[in-house]
Structure 1
Amino acid sequence: MAESLRDQLLKSGIVKQVTEQKRPSPQQGGKPPYKGSKPQGGGNKPQGARPPHKGHVPGKSQDEIDLARAYAIRAQTEAGERKRAEQEAAELARIKRERKQKIQQLLSGNVLNKADADQVRHFEYGGKIRRMHVDAAQLAALNAGELGVVQQAGRYLLVSREVAEQVRDLDAQQLALLVEPGATGVGDDGVPDDLMW
């Protein structure tokens, strides 16, 4: 004979058998339940139900727990990515500091700027026209490619070609001007053709 739906659910394990507690009926001397009153025994929980086992959060479904785990994993991943980005930024800053120190050591004692320079040499650097004061001999050497200009801490420093090439090897952005020997474009008056206005 066919089993009842209740028996089938009990066998499959989906529903656990709950023993019902008999309520006293009004005829047995018990008080009748009032309308609107809460049922005794803790609401809609079946009587005799086991307390939730450890690890189970009351009132949360498995989907909510899985979602919470996903958020925790995502937070860990993002924290790891932030930490890697901070480490990379610190490493880049360290390399930049070391490079700056090497350039400063190269430039110390090798700067050829003169306080009494009377001629101006214009050059393009960083998308703008810059100028540097040099004397006549330095102007000729600069235009011939024997000297170069290095930008350091907002100042333009005149240095020998060897020092300028070493600075270019360390950080090409610091090299403001280095004319290639034999390059055309410098007029008879020592002013580059591209800067004449």
Structure 2
Amino acid sequence: MTESLREQLLKSGIVKQLREEKQARRESREQREPRRRARGEEIDLGRAYALRAQAEKQERARLEREAAERARERKERKRRLQELLDGKALNRDDAELLRHFSYGDKIRRVHVDAEQLRALNAGELGVVQHNGRYLIVARAVALEAQAIAPEALALLVEPGAGDADDGVPDDLVW
């Protein structure tokens, strides 16, 4: 018997049987794989929805934090502006003249006396809008108010510019 072990196993059919079993296992695995993938895709789809919901929740939370931060900053600017303007308004109850100016795409007015009108037109005074009122203040206070809240500065003429460059037509200054 000079046959090798390999040849003996081939003749006996054991190798053939092992090959068939191996092939059967491979085919069985290939049939199960699509089912696993299908289940996996469902899991992936569910997971995708969960991830999307989590991302949307985080985005909403971020937007809410930013809105709260902006509101806090606005409140702080308003408080600082109030502190700055306390006792510094030069408005007079007995003022008879009107000084018109453009603010917020509309023509606004503030009551002034003759000296205040001259000082406003010369740039020595400015007008600041705060809590729905237009307050006449010194130029330095108006500049500080502008630094705190730029939208609060309603009127500030550049010194030496006169009436021509304040953005208000001459016929509106009475």
Short-chain TM bin: 0.7 to 0.9
Displacement of 1:150 in angstroms is 0.4
Corresponding residue of 2:41: 63
Give the number of aligned pairs: 150
- The alignment status of 1:196 with 2:171, answered yes or no, reads yes
How far apart are the structure 1 equivalents of 2:145 and 2:89? 13
SS in 1 for 2:29: coil
SS in 2 for 1:110: coil
How far apart are the structure 1 equivalents of 2:74 and 2:159? 30
Corresponding residue of 1:36: none
Displacement of 1:195 in angstroms is 4.4
Corresponding residue of 1:148: 126
What is the RMSD of the two structures over their aligned residues, measured on CA atoms? 2.7
Alignment of 1:41-120 (within 5 A): 61-120=39-98
Displacement of 1:193 in angstroms is 6.0
> Is the 8 Å Cα contact of residues 122 and 195 (structure 1) preserved in structure 2?
no
Corresponding residue of 1:169: 147
Q: Which moved more, 1:103-112 or 1:177-186?
A: 177-186
CA distance 1:195–1:74, shift in 2 (3 Å): farther
Displacement of 1:192 in angstroms is 7.4
Corresponding residue of 2:112: 134
> Is the 8 Å Cα contact of residues 147 and 159 (structure 1) preserved in structure 2?
yes
Displacement of 1:131 in angstroms is 0.8
Unaligned runs of 5+ in 2: 1-12, 32-37
Displacement of 1:121 in angstroms is 0.4
Identity, % of aligned pairs?
52
Displacement of 1:185 in angstroms is 3.1
Paired residue type of 1:14: R
CA distance 1:185–1:141, shift in 2 (3 Å): closer
Question: What TM-score results when the alignment is normalised by the length of structure 1?
Answer: 0.68
- The alignment status of 1:178 with 2:156, answered yes or no, reads yes
> Is the 8 Å Cα contact of residues 123 and 195 (structure 1) preserved in structure 2?
no
Question: What TM-score results when the alignment is normalised by the length of structure 2?
Answer: 0.77
SS in 2 for 1:133: strand
Displacement of 1:152 in angstroms is 0.7
In the TM superposition, what whole-angstrom CA distance separates every residue of 1:87-131 from its partner, at most 9, and x where no partner exists? 111111111111100000011000111111000100000011111
How far apart are the structure 2 equivalents of 1:100 and 1:193? 28
Paired residue type of 2:58: G
How far apart are the structure 2 equivalents of 1:195 and 1:70? 66
In the TM superposition, what whole-angstrom CA distance separates every residue of 1:9-64 from its partner, at most 9, and x where no partner exists? 33455279xxxxxxxxxxxxxxxxxxxxxxxxxxxxxxxxxxxxxxxxxxx72211
- Structure with greater helix percent: 2
SS in 1 for 2:95: coil
How far apart are the structure 1 equivalents of 2:28 and 2:159? 91
